Amino acid sequence: MGSFHPRWHPICVAFVYLVFLPTWSSCSQFAFNTIKKIIGGLLATYIVCKTASVRDSTRLNQFKHHYDQHRIWSKA
């Protein structure tokens, strides 16, 4: 999930709207719901990944801190 560019999203959304909505004018409601689901899914995935990476870095810092304490104690 490395690099994530939120600034591309408005362009992608606009592109999807321009391409699909005129073609599916009769089922524009269906298209809109599908787009909403896709965007919701992407957003949820992004939030989960962000939260997970933050949690991991916190755990890493705690471990590092514990390790530093241990090193200080073993020196003394």
Binned at pLDDT 50, 70 and 90, residue 1 comes out as very low
13-16, Cβ contacts within 8 angstroms, sequence gap of 24 or more = 13/39
- Catalogue the long-range contacts made by 7-11 (C-beta closer than 8 Å, 24 or more residues apart): 9/39, 9/42
Q: Is 32 exposed, middle or buried (0-12, 13-18, 19+ CB in 10 A)?
A: middle
Write the single-letter amino acid at 26: S
User: 3 or 46, which is more confident?
Assistant: 46
Taking only the tens place, the pLDDT of each residue in 9-65 is: 677 777 777 766 666 565 667 777 888 898 888 888 888 878 877 777 777 777 777
Reduced to 3 states (helix: H, G, I; strand: E, B; else coil), residue 4 is coil
